[in-house]
Structure 1
């Protein structure tokens, strides 16, 4: 299909598609001349993914590019998919927090016996989030943090069960898109659950 048809089918303007091409978000089409190219269903699927990442997921163009780069070069080992996906979504290595937040995060992972890499992006994200909460006057008790972690572990079990096993590319796409687009779902469910629990709690 020509870029005009890709635009019509995706609902994205030609100018925006050309921007995606320049930014490396969308892979090049098959050149038919010096100034024209044809595109296929893989381009349509990628455009829809890009829109989901930018609009629903709220990612920046740079973050979306990290995701598409990872999708184009998936790692061979299935377990490594999570590391690639989390690294793409986090923006790369984060400087770990210091003090009580780092101690609390490390103690939590150790106490639960979780197999988590010392350089895992989510570990640094947890440390920084706890540090930000403390700076805002909210200290999260270890008991509560453990309860949150155990609840999220059950969510993670559901997540991992749903990862496709037929190809690394399909698995990586599932992990990345699922993380970006389902995080708001999890947040909404938490708020609904809070309302339900509050309504059942005597005043």
Structure 2
């Protein structure tokens, strides 16, 4: 398809597509003549991912470029490639190791990982942004007087493990390695809001069942 067709099918203005091409977010098309190129379904899929990252994820172009650089790095194994792409997304700051609540939260999180046998998560704990975010969230709850200990966290972690299994089951339905990584990145940006909304709806439903509408 020509640039005009790519623009029409994606709903992205041609000038914007040209900008993405200049910035390296979108691979060049197959050169047809000195002034025209041909684009395919892979360009359309990538363009839609870029728009989701900008419009839903609110990510700056520099961050998107870094994420997509990892997505396209065929030299990396799947786990490292996926991790690098996801870790390039905006993350929580480093926790203050001198904060008593942080130290207590780290202990409870380590207990959960140990109980579940998540050895890979333990090994990545010093560099994983997800681990850092969890510690910071548990520490904040503890400061407010809500003691979220390992016993309370454990069933939530087990539920999230089931969600992760379904995530990767879906990722593995994609035909190519690049599409699998793209799907995982898209899911991080788009499916997490779905899970958050489902969680809130479930809370509303359970609240109504327990307490009615009075």
Q: How does 1:69-88 map to 2 (within 5 A)?
A: 69-74=69-74, 77-88=77-88
In the alignment, what sits opposite 1:191? 200
> Structure 2: which 5+ runs fail to align?
98-102
In the alignment, what sits opposite 2:111? 107
In the alignment, what sits opposite 1:19? 19
> Structure 1: which 5+ runs fail to align?
none
Over aligned residue pairs, what C-alpha RMSD do you find? Answer: 2.6
TM-score by length of 2: 0.78
Higher mean Cα deviation, 118-127 or 58-67? 58-67
Contact persistence 1:86–1:121 (CA under 8 A): no
Instruction: Report the 3-state secondary structure (helix = DSSP H, G, I; strand = E; otherwise coil) of the residue aligned with 1:25.
Output: coil
Instruction: Report the 3-state secondary structure (helix = DSSP H, G, I; strand = E; otherwise coil) of the residue aligned with 2:88.
Output: helix
Q: How does 1:152-167 map to 2 (within 5 A)?
A: 152-164=160-172, 166-167=175-176
- Residue 29 of structure 1: CA displacement? 2.6
CA distance in structure 2 between the aligned counterparts of 1:104 and 1:175, rounded to whole angstroms:
28
CA distance in structure 1 between the aligned counterparts of 2:46 and 2:209, rounded to whole angstroms:
45
- Residue 134 of structure 1: CA displacement? 4.4
Q: How does 1:11-50 map to 2 (within 5 A)?
A: 11-31=11-31, 32-33=33-34, 36-41=35-40, 42-50=42-50
How many residues are matched?
A: 199
Query: Is 1:172 aligned to 2:171, yes or no?
Result: no
How big is each residue's C-alpha offset from its partner over 1:134-188, in whole Å with a ceiling of 9 and x where there is no partner?
Answer: 45x2634213222221211111121122222653212212211122111011001
CA distance in structure 2 between the aligned counterparts of 1:120 and 1:198, rounded to whole angstroms:
34
Instruction: Report the 3-state secondary structure (helix = DSSP H, G, I; strand = E; otherwise coil) of the residue aligned with 1:18.
Output: helix
TM-score by length of 1: 0.82
Instruction: Report the 3-state secondary structure (helix = DSSP H, G, I; strand = E; otherwise coil) of the residue aligned with 1:141.
Output: coil
The partner residue of 1:131 within 139, 146, 155 is 139
